[in-house]
Structure 1
Amino acid sequence: MDAIPFTSTPLTTRWTFKQGNRHSPNDYLPANDVPTEVHRDLVKNGQIANPFDDLNELSVRWVAEATWTYRTTFAAPADYSISNVVTKLHFEGLDTFASVYVNGLLVLKSDNMFIERRADVSGSLKSEGNVLEITFESARKIGLGLVEQHKEHSFIVHQTEVSRGPVRKAQYHWGWDWGPILTTCGPWKPITIETWKGRVSTPGVQYEFVSDLDSAKLRASVEWEGAIAAVSFEIISVKNNSLVAGAVVQINDETLQGTAEATITVDDIDLWWPRGYGDQAMYIIRAEAHGRAEPSHNPLQSISRKFGFRKAELIQKPDGHGTSFYFRINNIDIFCGGSCWIPADSFLTRLTPEKYRAWVILAASGNQTMLRVWGGGIYEADALYDAADEFGVLIWQDFMFACANYPAYPEYMDSVEEEARQNVWKLRNHPSIVVWAGNNEDYQIVERYGLDYDPEDGNPEAWLKSNFPARYFYEYLLPKVINEYCTNVPYHPSSPFGNGKSTVLKVDPTIGDVHQWNVWHGTMEPYQRLPDMGGRFVSEFGMEAYPHVSTLEKYITREEDRYPGSMAMDFRNKAIGHERRLISYVAENFRIRYDLEGFTHLTQIMQADAISWAYKSWRRQWGSGRDRKCGGVLVWQLNDCWPTMSWSIVDYGMVPKPAYYAIKRVMKSIIVSVQRKYKSWTMRPADVLWQRDTGHVDMRQIWRAVEFDVWIANSTRKEVKVEVRLKYISVCTGVEVETKAQQSVLIAPNGTTEVLNNHVVDLTRLQRLNDPFDTARADPFVVHASLYVDGQCVASDVSWPEPIKYLSFTDRGVVVRYSEDGMTASVSAAKPVKGFVFSEREGVSMSDNGFDVLPGDSKDVQVMGCTASDLKWRYVEM
């Protein structure tokens, strides 16, 4: 009877819920299958309207104030009555303050959304009709109570209210400057009932390379419970589906729990590489638990997980620019261009593994190298990391702290440590995770409010007695956990962090990572200044834009509200200054169109322009192996949690904005970039008030005498011989007004190669300087750079006269032709066209969008999900 296998039965169906505690007289209503959340269940029963529609967010605030109880019934598992069989309820996640009752008896209390729990119900069940009840108290009310209870701590919280500070729950549920206040609750992860005589945890691996990167000494480990005689480990190659190595650990411990470890040498390793650098080779580690009484070929439990071998380093060394900050994977320096990731829905249980995979595919297809999982959300679902492993997308993983001064009273500290240990253990096998960071912007709070922080003080116990006790987490506890569980992943105390020198408020471009928010926030600099506003690694920056009209129209239900500036539209934009800031950036650069489609288009093209200025220039600063100035750039943000105006480059409906395609073009393996020197038309640098004034600008110098740079970025590991061709094309006529000889260049591997620096094209001779300046006679031109390899054009770029609003775009001669199968659109123009956009919608995807069109070039766009001729299109000033 010893070889009784581990069983796990999901408790998914037959759930009901009601308002109030388990003794409340309110009637139970049918709930969704678990996992679920209370807002979803209220919508299901018609108790509330969709919180995403119109202003309905305001009508559901009461939900967060109430107590809610979930209930189901279940039968005892088949093995329940067998002697010495353990029966436990396994809760993978309860959101958040939960009391669990089985047949009226309290078996578990939980206060942390990020921790999984088990409740022993051995001997407490009936054969049929067992009642499981879970009561969820208001996180907001309990949070406010904890703030009042712990007056010894200074609770400082940015973004909505202070009650989130002491609550270990997804912080964005309290609202953010891109998300609604929807503080939900419920059984947000699966619930199962388990039986066993012996069980093991998910196996984990740590390894050290012992012969360059060909061989590794691997330490496999599991936690075990029960009557276990041995644990066997197997390492299997996914590529060949073959056993690579294995080991057996004998268990002689009578304590009925412990850790089993085996050291295994693996030779002839296939490495896991980031996308574009090699294959994403994966292995499987399988752990099997064997019973004590009689050896058996049938294990008590078998559990497998994938992992990959890769070497990850965060290079922080003194250099000519300060201290470097870039990633080296398998001894190759990697420029990390990508995005920040927020939770993809306000209601997390709506997200499926398929949707997570689609998001990662979208990032990978957009040539993005890295996603940063932001610290105000959640430790994400397995599906996201599995997809990142599969498609070679690197993950920067924050711990879940954001924009607050968190407490450190004993109960909170214990909860944080358990949270860290569980989640690092759970995620430690993923080769895609290459850095853990302690928090998001908490050191900004320290600086802004003058909290205690002395970089020279190395005493963690003293930090706990300061008014910034969370430093104990970020600089002692969390790195300790990382060092115990995944030594092959670097740790960074915060984002941003520069050894106490770099925060959001005080950006030090010479050290650490920076969040550059003096575009949009702060001093609201022109985005054309972004090239000079970078750092060693830019882990946040961004520019707002509207979502696609097709996405907005699903949630702004009244036609009369579908205009920029309506109450419903302004309410949806949560950013500080929202429409004032957005329209300022649009108006500084483009002629305002204030119908919904026209204004949406302009915000999106403006956002794409801002992103392009930054990505091109900061990738240029990648430099060479001897001079890495900028190690990466992560735009804020990839996605949205609801349909809104935000900094996202893909809207809530998974419809990419033009900025997504701008990054896709800039992050190709080999690109050419051309960029004019920025000359302000919006601000006087000497004016401390930064008042707008165009009177100082000589428009002849902006339009006729142009100074620009040309460079090539190459992320391949090969030298490549290329040809650079430049054209100067009149915006007014489409005629090439000046030519430059073609130039052959041998471009460096994994770096940038300068082609032209401070190059000047002066066409002012075409208009006599003593004549009155006549804009009708002015002939501004674009600089068009093309890159050819073996006679084939592989990349191109355009530099426009700025600002675009001073230009005329009449009679562009745009022609769109369609292939016979309707899957390809070819766009051409007689004169330069700015910001050509097909109107994308959910379910439709395309190879490119939001591009410029120049005479003599035809842009071919592959369309999937509809016939290309069904799509509307527009361009600037159409």
Structure 2
Amino acid sequence: MPNASASATQFNSTPLTEGWTFKQGDRDSTNTSLAANNLPTEIHRDLLKHNKISDPFQDLNELSTRWVGDETWTYQTTFTAPANYNHDNVSTSLRFEGLDTFASVYLNGELVLTSENMFIEHRVDVTGQLQSDENTLDIIFESARKRGLELVEQHKEHRFIVHQTEISRGPVRKAQYHWGWDWGPILMTCGPWKPISIETYEARICDLWVQYELADDLKTAHVRIRVKLEGPITSVEFEIINQKTNETVIHVNTDTAVEEDGTTSGTVEQLITLDDIELWWPRNYGAQSLYAVRANAYTTRDPSLSAPPIHSISKALGFRKVELIQEPDIHGTSFYLRINNVDIFCGGSCWIPADSFLTCMTPEKYRSWVKSAAEGNQTMLRVWGGGIYEDDAFYDAADELGILVWQDFCFACANYPAYPSYLASVEHEARQNVRRLRNHPSLVIWAGNNEDYQIVERYNLEYVSEDKDPQSWLKTEFPARYIYEHLLPTIVKQESPRTPYHPSSPFGNGKSTVLTVDPTIGDIHQWNLWHGTMQPYQDLPKLGGRFVSEFGMEAYPHLSTLQACITREEDRYLGSMAMDFRNKAIGHERRLMSYVAENFRLKSYLEGFTHLTQIMQADAISWAYKSWRRQWGTSGGNRKCGGALVWQLNDCWPTVSWSVVDYNLVPKPAYYAIKRAMAPVVVGVQRKVKSWTMREKDELWQRDTGHVDVRQMWEGVEFDVWVANATCEEVEMELEVKFWSVKSGREVRPEIRKEISIAANGTTEVIQGERVEVDDSRNTDEPFDISKADPFVINASLYMGNHHVATDVSWPDPIKYLTFNDRGVEIRYSEDGMTAFITAARPVKAFVFSETPGVRLDDNGMDIMPDERKEVYVNGCRADQLKWRYIEM
């Protein structure tokens, strides 16, 4: 065995960030090369840098950039060899963290790598292949669309089916939304979308993996740290550091087995027991305690000597126990998460890539997005399968802010193939990304795909639930079953065994007739709101499931976002080509107009209609979160609904969509509706909804609108009140229920007050089926005259002593039937201009400040009752600079 030296060459990584050029065509093309952006970059961004294309985010410019995705593009840079390149025993590697997508890499004219998967990192050994002075690196990117069409033609044995986009995406391992979606543009990017670096080393740590078992009392962790090594490493030093105190809680050294040739191969592990650990908790349930696990590799047997480690690697770690509870109960089979032995209602959002150009994302942007979810009282983000395995910065922010992450594998809305080379690529992709993400405490569940089993249902693809032989699945019309029910769960079990796996989102009991639509088991995507049967959103209480992992309602963003992407004033009207082009959802004109028209008096000008769409969306989202959180129920087999994730939190470009926060990080009123509905303790009030029925003598004529009851304005209503408590403590509070005349602002009947005991981590039903009669002297035989009715709102509030905890309002739907005379709204401002104080003489529906990028409010889109004063704190401008409006203002 050779003698190890303290002067051994340390691991060194040099990023190849600057000095890149690009050109259209392959290496032999005579087209002019232009300076590219620093890496990471993408072709559209580089073309924009030189004004070769128009901004595809503005007007109809997306159409004029479609050609980019059908071309071949070559990136090139030159670099000198690292200073220690020629040292004895030094290895050299080129590291490509991500190439999008069909890439051929040449070093000094020699082909060293071909890649066909955007999600895979490559490390290429180039020891002895570098020149000391100048080296040339070329990367040729072929059209993913054209290559996809070629693969479809080559694999005629498979029935390629894709939704949303063209068939070419089916066999391509690239972010599927690049082909366009019903909320995003067609922007077929390519390029070095992740960093490229050159590494030199005598020895290195290839991987660091931390596994642990928690004791039953969750106070002790039995930790297994594994490192994979390469090179003459004689010992490894392990440290675990409390990141909050920066104190080392444990420090151990482990000798390695060095082979005769001086190398170390395989893995080294260390078993450690930690007492009195601090747990990682979801937001609002406890602290987000994090530890750093560090491994230092040495080529001398005594790490206490002055020589620094030859290589170090560190990862963050949070101790937490996660369980997916799927047990028979009175509603079917449960589906909810239990973290650290506490049941968690997962109210939150679905996440799509936050930009069509992924290289525009920065750690600061990721943190801002995750912070917006956290500040909106959201518990979970679901990373949708048509995007990417997100950057570490996303999961780091989730770890720090206590947001649970549901991670789909990157498959969406298609019948994917399973020929051998495709399966090999998928396995490589899945192992790499599970390994990369497995130490993040925020990542609590993996799902095999998004909506691929709905393809099975819609096209009646072969699926025999009784067939348990994975090899036989490869011979069916749905060979990807092998991926979702065998390959991926096997990888998760091997690489991250304590993380639950779910075959798909949605997925029920695996029976071929009800794979995705059974509300009694698994998760569902509830798209009979907006899509499908276009149910009124007042029907949402009966449209839930065991876990609603998608549902949504469209709305316009604030005017500031619309005006920035639709640049011509003459295009800023409802139904303009630019406006319709901005909304990719099929049938959006009818669907959006129908939902608005069913509930509100239409406004034909842009500002008024924008406000109505936002309030309609907020109302729909509020109905969903209130109703399904109510169905969280209590422990002991009564968790009817385990979570609700709105489609979607964000946008990838400025657009009209289902997002609750637009591309520019400007929240819509629906965002605040979720924030109110997901507060730790909330009160809900809801009147019973009936179909619209008109009375004339002894006969009834019914118009089935599903949500309108004109009689409630005259004859009174039945209503329920409940309280949802996400804390683990039973609390005593006072409930107050008031009944306000919409017309006059007077109370139409005496208020209700009662002391209530609210159960911990569950729903407490406080009032059920109470009837409110309206005093009137109308002759019941006379025709119904709505002008004589005195409709009222029901306002429920919770108090703990003098502290106002929560409030909720039930309006008589539809709002369009109500007459809003002067509301008597007054707004005052604090001396520093940062707070607005809003009062009203009569009930106000949906008071909204028009937000702009960089401005943050702590509340918006709220209702205002005659006896209250709303306070809204504004950051980013003076409160008196904001425009505002409310329904029928």
Q: Is the shorter-chain TM-score for this pair beyond 0.5, marking a shared fold?
A: yes
Instruction: Give the deviation of 1:693 after TM superposition.
Output: 5.5
Give the CA deviation at 1:719: 1.0
Name 1:259's counterpart in structure 2: 267
In structure 2, the residue matched to 1:726 is 737
1:63 partner letter: V
Letter matched to residue 238 of structure 2: F
Equivalent position of 1:441 in the other structure: 451
> Which whole-Å CA distance do the structure 1 matches of 2:174 and 2:381 have between them?
22
1:238 pairs with 2:249: no
CA contact (8 A) 1:714 1:752 kept: yes
Partner residue, 1:777: 788
1:141-178 CA-partner distances (Å, limit 9, x unpaired):
00000000011111111111111111000000000110
CA shift digits 1:477-515 (9 cap, x unpaired) = 111111112122111111011122599985211000110
Q: Which residue of 1 aligns with 2:697?
A: none
Report the CA distance shift for 1:268/1:682 in structure 2 as closer, same or farther (over 3 A). farther
Q: 1:694 to 1:60 in 2, by over 3 A?
A: closer
Q: Which residue of 2 aligns with 1:209?
A: 214
Q: Is the 8 A contact 1:528 1:610 kept in 2?
A: yes
How far 1:682 moved relative to its partner? 11
Decide which of 335, 356, 366 is 2:345's aligned counterpart: 335
SS at 1:115 equivalent:
coil
Q: Which residue of 2 aligns with 1:686?
A: none
1:469 aligns with 2:482: no
Which string of whole-angstrom CA distances, capped at 9 and with x for unpartnered residues, describes residues 590-613 of structure 1?
A: 000011111110000000000001
SS in 2 for 1:359: helix
Equivalent position to 1:143, from 120, 145, 148: 148
Q: 2:864 aligns with which of 842, 853, 857?
A: 853
Question: Corresponding residue for 1:371?
Answer: 381
Per-residue deviation, residues 527-546 of structure 1 (Å, max 9, x unmatched):
10001000000000000001
Match of 1:869 in 2: 880
1:486 is matched with which residue?
Answer: 496
Question: What secondary structure is seen at the aligned counterpart in 2 of 1:742?
Answer: strand
Partners of 2:152 and 2:338 in 1: how far apart? 43
Matched, 1:806 2:833: no
Change (3 A) 1:692 1:257: farther
Report the Cα offset of residue 294 of structure 1: 8.8
Q: Is the deviation greater in 867-876 or in 118-127?
A: 118-127
2:746 is equivalent to residue 735 of structure 1: yes
Superposition deviation, residue 292 in structure 1: 6.4
Deviations 1:537-577 (A, max 9, x none): 00000000011110011110100001111000101111111
Instruction: Return the alpha-carbon distance in structure 2 between the equivalents of residues 636 and 682 of structure 1.
Output: 34
2:698 maps to which residue?
Answer: none
1:578 is matched with which residue?
Answer: 588
Equivalent residue of 1:203, what SS?
strand
Partners of 1:96 and 1:186 within 8 A in 2: yes
**2:174 paired with 1:164:** no
CA contact 1:700–1:764 (8 Å) conserved in 2: no
Letter in 1 for 2:272: I
Task: Give the match for residue 305 of structure 1.
Answer: 315
Q: Distance in 1 between matches of 2:465 and 2:660?
A: 37
Of residues 293, 296, 314 in structure 2, which corresponds to 1:288? 296
Q: Deviation at 1:243?
A: 2.0
Question: Which of 640, 645, 650 pairs up with 2:656?
Answer: 645
Which amino acid is the alignment partner of residue 74 of structure 2? Answer: T
Residue identity in the other structure for 1:39? H
Corresponding position of 2:186: 181
Q: CA offset at residue 266 of structure 1?
A: 1.4
The Cα offsets for residues 779-800 of structure 1, whole Å up to 9 and x where unpaired, read as: 0000011111123211111000
Name the counterpart of 1:594. Answer: 604
Indicate conservation of the 8 Å contact 2:97/2:122, yes or no: yes
Match of 2:767 among 744, 752, 756: 756
Q: Secondary structure at the match of 1:837?
A: strand
Deviation at 1:231, TM superposition (A): 2.5
The one-letter code sitting in structure 2 at the alignment partner of 1:478 is: L
CA contact (8 A) 2:183 2:583 kept: yes
The alpha-carbon distance between structure 1 residues 547 and 697, as it changes in their structure 2 partners (threshold 3 A), is closer
Task: For 2:293 and 2:706, locate their aligned partners in 1 and report how far apart those are by CA, in whole Å.
Answer: 69
Name whichever of 550-559 and 237-246 sits farther off. Answer: 237-246
Which piece of structure 1 moves more, 587-596 or 261-270? Answer: 261-270
Aligned: 1:607 with 2:602: no
Does residue 269 of the first structure (1) align with residue 274 of the second (2)? no
Q: 1:66 to 1:696 in 2, by over 3 A?
A: closer
TM-score by length of 1: 0.97
* Match 1:115 to one of 111, 120, 133: 120
- Work out whether residues 441 and 504 of structure 1, in 8 Å CA contact, stay in contact via their aligned partners in 2: no
1:697 and 1:710 mapped to 2: Cα distance? 20
124-133 vs 847-856, greater mean Cα deviation? 124-133
- For the residue of structure 1 that corresponds to 2:752, the secondary structure is coil
Q: Which amino acid aligns with 2:97?
A: E
Unaligned runs of 5+ in 1: 684-690
Equivalent pair of 1:443/1:503 in contact (CA under 8 Å):
no
Deviation at residue 522 of structure 1 after TM alignment: 0.3
Contact 1:703 1:781 survives alignment (8 Å): no
Partner secondary structure for residue 156 of structure 2: coil
Root-mean-square deviation (Å)? 1.8
Over 3 Å counting, the alpha-carbon distance change for 1:12 and 1:703 in structure 2 is farther
- The aligned counterpart of 1:817 is 828
Whether the aligned pair in 2 keeps the contact of 1:619 and 1:630 (CA below 8 Å) is yes
Q: Within 2, Cα distance between the matches of 1:718 and 1:731?
A: 37
The structure 2 residue matched to 1:768, chosen from 769, 779, 803, is 779
Which amino acid letter does the alignment assign opposite residue 678 of structure 1? V
Q: Report whether the alignment pairs 1:62 with 2:58.
A: no
- Provide the rounded CA distance (Å) in 2 between the counterparts of 1:677 and 1:540: 25
Mapped partners of 2:30, 2:600: distance in 1: 60
Partner amino acid for 1:220?
Answer: I
CA distance in 2, matches of 1:772, 1:584: 29
Structure 2 residue matching 1:625: 3-state secondary structure: coil
Aligned residue number for residue 688 of structure 1 = none
The one-character-per-residue Cα deviations of 1:649-693 (angstroms, maximum 9, x if unpaired) are: 00011000000000000111111110111223499xxxxxxx975
CA–CA separation in structure 2 for the residues paired with 1:277 and 1:797: 24
Residue identity over aligned pairs, in percent, reads 68
* Paired AA for residue 789 in structure 2: A
Report 1:680-691 matches (<5 A): 680-681=691-692
Does structure 1 conserve the Cα–Cα contact (< 8 Å) formed by 2:742 and 2:792? yes
Residues 8-48 of structure 1 deviation map (CA, whole Å, 9 limit, x = unaligned)? 00111111100000110001001100000000000000100
Displacement of 1:202 in angstroms is 4.1
Distance in 2 (alpha carbons) for counterparts of 1:730 and 1:93:
61
Residue equivalent to 1:629: 640
Q: Is 1:20 paired with 2:28?
A: no
